């Protein structure tokens, strides 16, 4: 499980739902007992949110083929966790140019397969949810 923001880490800890068979990852600054982190070379990788952190965790763990399931970066700036971000006063852009550049760099290091109903032009490898389920 990956949580990028302090609010999400704190909420997960409050819920007391830790499972010993689950690895929990966050930014080094929010690490708590039971949570892992690792040093990211900020000159090469740019982690912007839980989705990008999850990809970096997968790379850190040695995965070279990654399926990103349901990421809506290219569809909306809404978040299912929006109530935790009300302090911002705005919805941040989920797909800024720097994230597109990061995706391009990551795609040169591993295969990323996007599983989503809406394909974006920058998705090299893509599956619909139905195609993904049939491939399992």
Intervals of the chain under pLDDT 70: 16, 41-46, 80-88
Residue 57: exposure state from Cβ atoms within 10 A (0-12, 13-18, ≥19)? buried
Could you tell me the residue range of the domain that residue 103 belongs to? 6-135
Identify the DSSP state of 92: P
Stretch (H or E) spanning 112:
strand 111-115
Distance of alpha carbon 56 from the chain centroid: 8
Residues paired with 67 in a beta bridge? 113
pLDDT in tens, 11-34: 888 876 777 788 889 888 888 888
- Strand pairing report for 35-36 and 111-115: unpaired
Domain-embedded: residue 38: yes
Q: Which residues partner with 111 through β-bridges? A: 65
Alpha helices in 29-96, H assignment, sequence order: 50-60
- How confident is the model at residue 46, as a pLDDT? 67
Neighbours of 32 (CB within 10 A): 11
pLDDT at site 126: 93
Query: To which residue do tokens 């739902």 refer?
Result: 17
Residue 92, domain member (yes or no):
yes
Indicate whether 68 belongs to any domain. yes
Phi, psi dihedral angles at 79 (to 5 degrees)? -135, 140
- 1 in any annotated domain: no
| pLDDT score for 42 | 59
pTM higher than the cut 0.75 = yes
How many separate domains does the chain show?
1
- What is the model's pLDDT at position 67? 94
Taking only Cα atoms into account, the Rg of the chain, rounded to an integer number of angstroms, comes to 16
């Amino acid at each position: 499980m990956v949580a990028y923001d302090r609010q999400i880490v704190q909420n997960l800890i409050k819920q007391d739902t830790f499972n010993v068979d689950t690895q929990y990852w966050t930014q080094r600054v929010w690490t708590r007992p039971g949570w892992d982190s690792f040093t990211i070379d900020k000159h090469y990788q740019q982690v912007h949110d839980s989705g990008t952190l999850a990809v970096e965790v997968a790379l850190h763990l040695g995965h070279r083929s990654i399926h990103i399931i349901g990421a809506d970066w290219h569809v909306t700036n809404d978040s299912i966790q929006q109530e935790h971000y009300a302090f911002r006063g705005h919805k941040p852009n989920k797909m800024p140019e720097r994230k597109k550049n990061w995706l391009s760099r990551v795609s040169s290091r591993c295969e990323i397969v996007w599983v989503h109903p809406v394909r974006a032009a920058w998705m090299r490898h893509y599956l619909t949810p139905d195609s993904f389920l049939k491939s399992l």
